[in-house]
Structure 1
């Protein structure tokens, strides 16, 4: 029967070294046994040393990507990655409202895990106003949560408050990822606030490694895959946390500097 196999979609840029972006999403989809389609929004030239060039795709081409996938495939869940500017964010929002692609997982790529801002202020405002309310699940890192909630996070209570503020923007389920850039810390703790009001912490041992490219992409992609396979939101989030932790803990040596995680390590 056509379209019987679970299908998901990433809306993201192509990363030429395969460590993050669309490639990390597709690796995760493959590892979690779903078919991954992709709406490419940009292309990035780079390697383990850094990004050296990028180009955004024309919005009419992106419109056609959305239309073609909607015309043929049965997408059960989708996710966003980095959306470069306000025009692109508005284009994605328009197309997501036009077609039925199932629940949306928003990885709000605003700031790096080290706190460097990636989006200009105008694009951030558009993301916050137009994209966040579409999120079935949103997965900000520590610094993105501070930016979205417009507050400093210095305690567990602060992280919980930030999650509540982000949920109040319209996102139904919130995963605030804890800091994981300090080699002296013993563990990484993420806070989850569900649509029902239930909340809990997810904790894993901190792994001191520079093989962490694509962790945020892979977490949100795994949540997307699990939703498409029929998991409830809490189970999808718990599986994704374990998937990424095992992928970080079992390094693969690719590139000379900042390398990718090991998407094949988690076998459950």
Structure 2
């Protein structure tokens, strides 16, 4: 006799990575290794590998909305995260569906600027994300460059990171995690958490590897998975950081460029 297992669910609203290292592929893999059933709403199809992106095909906003509605109407959404939302129209559509459907908790990974500092969306999209989506977020997870853009502040020190967290918090999210992977020197790998009351610097072992593709996607997905499992936001974040650190310690020899982190380390014998 069948005994179906009831499980937590989480939704990723993001782009697809044909190389499998980031985007919805990394998100769904992360959900699975947290024993959370993953669902998805694709915002874009990218042709990419470990060497770079060669093509991006953007989904119509109506398609993104339909995917979210299909999941919400049947499976349910225990937690959600956003990744690459591409443009103002998609950001506005996602924000409207989040409000209408009451999707919570929501983790916003504001994919605006790459870790290397390359701008990924235009000013209109940044404004839409700032004004429409951030106020709906339980947590927003900007990297150094994204935090600088949102806070209007150059980040060079821990105090700068803390001030950026305060400024971004004023935009409306319940909590902010300023990621320090691109910070200089000893600050590399130190993240700053702020929820309006508690300010905390979070640091785990720094892992030396060039195979870091998908790190940001994986962190936000792991936070969403832990939120779906019922953990409070700060604890969910700490658990997610531990997962990412372990995955960085088991990078994959895939492709000729910057390879992906190893999500399936729990299955390895050593």
TM (normalized to structure 2)?
0.93
Provide the aligned length of Structure 1 versus Structure 2: 265
* Residue 80 (structure 1) aligns with: 82
Which runs of no fewer than 5 residues in structure 2 stay unpaired? none
Secondary structure of the residue aligned to 1:66 is helix
Task: State the Cα deviation string for residues 107-140 of structure 1 (Å, max 9, x = none).
Answer: 0001111111111111111111111111100000
* Residue 95 (structure 1) aligns with: 97
Distance 1:266 1:246 in 2: 9
Q: Structure 1 pair 44/224, CA: closer, same or farther in 2 (3 Å)?
A: same
* Residue 232 (structure 1) aligns with: 232
Task: State the Cα deviation string for residues 35-70 of structure 1 (Å, max 9, x = none).
Answer: 000011110011111100011111222222122112
Query: Aligned ranges for residues 37-76 of structure 1 at < 5 Å?
Result: 37-76=39-78
Runs of 4+ in 1 over 2 A off after TM superposition: 1-4, 179-182, 184-187, 204-208
Query: Aligned ranges for residues 1-268 of structure 1 at < 5 Å?
Result: 4-180=6-182, 185=186, 188-195=189-196, 197-265=197-265
Farther-moved stretch of structure 1 (140-149 vs 184-193): 184-193
Structure 1 residue 77, shift from structure 2 partner: 0.5
Distance 2:54 2:125 in 1: 21
Task: State the Cα deviation string for residues 57-96 of structure 1 (Å, max 9, x = none).
Answer: 1122222212211210121100000110101111111111
Are 1:186 and 1:206, in contact at CA under 8 Å, matched by a contact in 2? Answer: no
Are 1:81 and 1:217, in contact at CA under 8 Å, matched by a contact in 2? Answer: yes
Secondary structure of the residue aligned to 1:226 is helix
Distance 2:130 2:91 in 1: 10
Are 2:9 and 2:79, in contact at CA under 8 Å, matched by a contact in 1? Answer: yes
Are 1:227 and 1:236, in contact at CA under 8 Å, matched by a contact in 2? Answer: yes
How well do the aligned residues superpose, as a CA RMSD in angstroms? 1.8
Are 1:251 and 1:262, in contact at CA under 8 Å, matched by a contact in 2? Answer: yes
Which runs of no fewer than 5 residues in structure 1 stay unpaired? none
Distance 2:28 2:181 in 1: 25
Distance 2:47 2:210 in 1: 20
